[in-house]
């Protein structure tokens, strides 16, 4: 068993990115919009800020009261869309229930949508056209590349069909010629399907849900889940100790997929800048 070390890959991604950033003549701008005082969201925003500061980005954390109207929020997004010094815009989820997340996300110009969640970017991904892609699935693909794990012709089973991880990852894998099975809460005989996976990705948010009865010997296991236990420690959706002696590669929790998500946000901000520069229509 070998560990897929997200921290190590993150450092490589950021080092390559710093080299590219050194060749442009201005500071890139990243804006994270937070609505309300969700404690977990505040932690994630600080992680993004730390990454942005390391890369020399102009980072703005715009925090709005939880009762902001949708019209006022859309107006703020419009201002950022029209600001040439802002390259990337991200809505920190979750947002209050009185706001329509789809409308809010789609209000962001697709070429500033560093979360890759606008309908345009999702459509471009499905059609295998260069686009901004959600950071976590993009980070998973980058990690597999770093460790020379080829997905061509492999059976990839993804458990979890979220817009942020499962669905975009399925499309990224298909675009790389993998054979993909996407499972979810209504899937029957789940373990019979996951045991056929050459590469198994779990993103469901259930503590240690996946044990050795779900995993084929020699499989590559990517654990996207981050769950906080009663003692305050973190664990994934996979029972690491139960499967570690039968897998070929596995991501630890923490220090697996998590660091990649933040690193790829930095890369997406640079890519958003490049897309604006290269698209003559913008």
Q: Any idea what the CATH number is for the domain that residue 93 is in?
A: 3.40.50.10860
* Residue 92 known to be catalytic: yes
Per-residue CA distances from 142 to 6, 100, 124, 172 (Å) = 10, 32, 19, 11
Residue 268 lies in a domain: no
Please count the CA atoms within 13 angstroms of the CA of 220 that sit on its side-chain side.
18
* Residue 213 known to be catalytic: no
Write down the catalytic residue from 48, 138, 167, 216: 48
According to the model, what pLDDT value does residue 281 have?
43
Residue 140 and residue 102 in one domain: no
Write down the catalytic residue from 87, 115, 237, 239: 115
pTM, whole model, 2 decimals?
A: 0.95
Residue 42 and residue 103 in one domain: yes
Respond yes or no on whether the N-terminal peptide bond of residue 94 is cis (omega within 30° of 0). yes
* Residue 130 known to be catalytic: no
Which CATH number characterizes residue 236's domain? 3.40.50.720
Per-residue CA distances from 234 to 86, 137, 154, 258 (Å) = 34, 21, 30, 12
Residue 45 structure tokens? 């925003």
When the pLDDT of each residue in the chain is averaged and rounded to a whole number, the result is: 96
Q: Tell me: the pLDDT tens digits for 41-75?
A: 999 999 999 999 999 999 999 999 999 999 999 99
Residue 103 and residue 177 in one domain: no
- From the list 276, 264, 202, 274, the residue with the least C-alpha distance to 55 is 264
Q: Residue 136: in which H helix or E strand, if any? A: helix 135-146
Q: What percent of the chain has pLDDT over 70?
A: 99
Range of the domain at 190: 135-258
Write down the catalytic residue from 10, 34, 87, 92: 92
Residue 265 lies in a domain: no
């Amino acid at each position: 068993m070998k560990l897929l070390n997200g921290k190590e890959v993150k450092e490589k991604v950021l080092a390559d990115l710093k080299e590219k950033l050194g060749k442009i003549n201005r500071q890139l701008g990243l804006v994270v919009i937070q609505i309300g005082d969700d404690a977990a969201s505040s932690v994630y925003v600080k992680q993004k800020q730390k990454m942005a500061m390391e890369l020399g980005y102009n980072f703005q954390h715009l925090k709005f009261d939880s009762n902001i109207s949708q019209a006022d929020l859309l107006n703020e997004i419009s201002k950022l869309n029209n600001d040439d010094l802002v390259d990337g815009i991200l809505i920190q989820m979750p947002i209050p229930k009185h706001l329509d997340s789809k409308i809010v996300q789609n209000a962001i110009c697709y070429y500033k949508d560093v979360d890759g969640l606008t309908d345009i970017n999702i459509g471009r991904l499905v059609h295998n056209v260069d686009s901004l892609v959600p950071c976590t699935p993009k980070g998973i693909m980058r990690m597999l590349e770093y460790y020379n794990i080829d997905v061509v012709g492999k059976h990839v089973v993804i458990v979890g069909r979220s817009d942020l991880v499962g669905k975009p990852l399925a499309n990224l894998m298909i675009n790389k010629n993998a054979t993909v099975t996407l499972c979810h809460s209504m899937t029957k005989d789940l373990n019979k399907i996951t045991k056929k996976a050459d590469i198994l990705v779990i993103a469901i948010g259930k503590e240690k849900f996946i044990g050795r009865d779900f995993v084929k010997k020699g499989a590559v296991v990517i654990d996207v889940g981050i769950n906080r236990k009663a003692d305050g420690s973190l664990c994934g959706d996979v029972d690491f100790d139960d499967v570690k002696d039968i897998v070929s590669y596995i991501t630890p929790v923490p220090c697996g997929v998590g660091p990649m998500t933040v690193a790829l946000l930095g890369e997406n901000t640079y890519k958003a800048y490049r897309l604006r520069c290269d698209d003559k229509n913008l």
